[in-house]
Amino acid sequence: MPVMELNNQTRHVLGHELVHAFQYHILLEKDSVGLENISQIPLWMIEGMAEYLSVRQN
């Protein structure tokens, strides 16, 4: 588990990584994308979505 200097940073990193966990779960369990084809998904989509959804909105 990543632990950063500030609690807000730790929450952000954990949220970011949890988004990845859900992305891969949905792609592998609910879609026809196989593990060998997951590398064809653009990195900007995977990382961009994780970053966008992990930013805490007030």
> pLDDT tens, 7-37?
778 888 888 999 999 888 888 776 566 667 7
Is a pLDDT exceeding 60 seen at residue 58? no
- Does residue 29 sit within a domain? yes
Q: What does the pLDDT read at residue 33?
A: 66
- Does residue 34 sit within a domain? yes
- Does residue 1 sit within a domain? no
Give the distance from CA 22 to its chain's centroid: 7
Average pLDDT rounded to a whole number, residues 1-10: 73
- Does residue 32 sit within a domain? yes
- Does residue 24 sit within a domain? yes
- Does residue 22 sit within a domain? yes
* Chain position carrying tokens 């940073």: 9
- Does residue 2 sit within a domain? no
Is a pLDDT exceeding 50 seen at residue 3? yes
Model confidence, pTM? 0.74
CA–CA distance, 22 with 15 (Å, rounded to integer) = 11
CA–CA distance, 33 with 47 (Å, rounded to integer) = 18
- Give how many domains the chain has, as a whole number: 1
- Does residue 11 sit within a domain? yes
Helix axis angle for 43-54 and 7-29, nearest 10°, is 130
How many other C-beta atoms are found inside a 10 Å radius of the C-beta of residue 2?
10
Which structural domain, as residue segments, surrounds residue 27? 7-54
Residue type, 9: Q
Q: What does the pLDDT read at residue 9?
A: 80
